[in-house]
A and B are shown apart, each in its own frame.
Chain A
Amino acid sequence: MKLPVIGQNAAQAALFLLLLLAVPYTLPNEYYLSICILGALNAVIAVGLNLLMGYAGQVSLGHAAFYGLGAYATAIATARFGLPIPAGMAIGVSLATVVAWVVAAPTLKLKGHYLAMATLGFGIIVSIVFNEAVDLTGGPSGYVGIPRLALFGYEFASDHSYYNLMAVVLTFVVLLSLNLMKSRTGRALRALHVSEKAAASLGVDIAAHKRFVFVLSAALAGLAGVLYAHYLSFIAPASFGFGFSVQLVVMVVLGGMASVWGSVAGALFLTALPEALREFEDIDILVYGAILVLTIMFLPDGLAGGLSRLSRRLRRLRRQGDAS
């Protein structure tokens, strides 16, 4: 199908947004809505991380740090210094961006396991700062009293309104990511993933592209961080530790490397899964692990790869049905 005027990506995104906006009317109570909001926040980070990991092939085991930097920066700016919320949010996203830009230069010279180790170390350092800089961050017990998000005089007081906002934000992030990956930048990132020397030999500035995508994915994590802080109005270092960084990587891998939609699916799935497993009580973590292992075993290219294979098979079946 060709949609020259608005484009295929925009059409898919519009459909996605409609779908998201319909979800609250199918939920039995408010509690599920808060899970959906967290799922959308995680999806924003996972899509950004996939640009870095799935497309450009650069692993980060420290992305929770950028999420935390965004959250703490806006929390401190608004709750302690009384800055307006939009200013706090701008500071939060900017801090994540600037820190990523500074960290990128030495870190992205490393490859594979070494890059993973360096980003892991970075994440741990930031996590220690959140815990130890008690005067600034409130320490391990967390930071309270962050104002609920209000923009242009409208306060997103109800969970439903916050969810709608997240639906719009996530849709934009997805659309812009799809567009970016279908451009010279996307091709260059996928190219350097496979062969840096071949990409360089064709005129791709490897260092600049790696830095760009690292900073972009950190900025998206920072954006999710500020939206998280102004949603919960309470943040604690435990949410931004190594464990969450690993979870983000799992979302990307489980959803499907180099698939924007896959990351959305991976994030929503992994956010909802623990809730769905509540009834298993003591063994829920076991079931959770088993589901992860089975998914990776049977869908090695993730949920996205599995779905596209399924739809191909269905189409083939239908064609055979038509032929006979």
Chain B
Amino acid sequence: MTAALLDVAAATVRFGGIHALTEADFTIAPGTVTALIGPNGAGKTTLLNAITGMVPLTSGAVLLDGADISSLPPHKRAEAGVVRTFQNLEVFTSMSVLENVMAGRHALTRYSVAASLLRTPGFRRAERECREAALDCLEFVGLADLAHAPAGDLPYGKQRLLEMARALAASPKLLLLDEPAAGLNSKETAELGHLIRAIRDRRGVAVGLVEHDMDLVMSVSDFVTVLHFGHPLAAGTPDEIQANPDVIKAYLGEDD
């Protein structure tokens, strides 16, 4: 196997006495869509939080491009190239759609506070670049015509797209999507599938996908990892996973 972009090694997360995640291994290869599935409470969101630094690992390590990022705070991991969206939307509702996406470029828009106070030419250039890159991301997800709308006014499905545009604006190496199809209708889910492929193929961004919608998972993923009670149960291509007896047992229960 080629070197992994993301390599989670023996990640364990304990909350008090609860083992949310036990020795979980999870890898994402560059240029792939890799799904993380499992029944409710399997530890999928915990793993996502551990990768992005929002919950501390009890033991284990998170490697990005071979570098250990386990001890970095969330904002440093974003700078390193791991950006995520949220299961419960976390859109900046008080800002416009465009400002949301421009906020996504925070780490890439570089100038001093003094430069912004004095509106130096360097500041104006950086702001123009930030704005253009943000508009490009909005174009990519199909929200360009709503750039100046207040973000809080967007319908649910469009707020999901906005979160993806905002995350893409940060130019991530790895984009982690936490249940992006939740609350979407079937048409919106189909469009989401196209968008996820486009993120991989046209943007060259690897995608980690936590999702319950199995049709979506099986149609867009290159690889699938199954978590069960905080343990990794199986990993492989969608076809392998669908044929794996352990996985079937975990999802459907045992017959005898």
Contact = CB atoms under 8 A, between A and B. Distances in A.
Do the two shown chains form a genuine complex with each other?
yes
Interface of A: 7, 9-10, 176, 179-180, 182-185, 187-188, 190-191, 193-195, 197-206, 212, 258
A41 to B, nearest CB: 21
A16 B90 CA distance: 37
Interface of B: 52, 54, 73-75, 78-79, 83-84, 86, 90-95, 99-100, 102-107, 109, 111, 113, 116-119, 123, 127, 130, 166-167, 170
Contact of A179 (B78, B99, B107, B116): B116
A30 B46 CA distance: 66
A67 B118 CA distance: 26
B215 to A, nearest CB: 28
Contacts of B86: 197-198, 201
Contacts of A9: 119
Contacts of A10: 119
Nearest first, the 7 closest Cβ-Cβ pairs linking A and B are A203-B107, A183-B116, A198-B90, A203-B78, A200-B74, A195-B90, A187-B103
Given A183-B123, A191-B92, A258-B94, A200 B78 contact: yes
A184 B106 contact: yes
Given A180-B117, A183-B116, A187-B106, 10 more contacts: A180-B116, A183-B127, A184-B103, A184-B116, A193-B94, A194-B93, A198-B91, A201-B54, A202-B170, A205-B73
Given A183-B123, A201-B74, A201-B78, A188 B113 contact: no
A197 B95 contact: no
A200 B75 contact: yes
A219 B106 CA distance: 25
B95 A190 contact: yes
Contacts of B84: 201
Nearest to A184: B109
Contact of A201 (B52, B95, B105, B116): B52
A71 to B, nearest CB: 25
A197 B90 contact: yes
Contacts of A206: 75
A185 B75 contact: no
Contacts of A203: 75, 78-79, 106-107, 170
Given A197-B74, A197-B90, A201-B74, A176 B117 contact: yes
Nearest to A57: B94
A203 to B, nearest CB: 3
A201 B77 CA distance: 8
A179 B117 contact: yes
B113 A202 contact: no
Contact of B92 (A7, A184, A185, A198): A198
A156 to B, nearest CB: 25
A204 B75 contact: yes
A205 B92 contact: no
Contacts of B170: 202-203
B250 to A, nearest CB: 30
A10 B119 CA distance: 10
A199 B73 CA distance: 12
B207 to A, nearest CB: 15
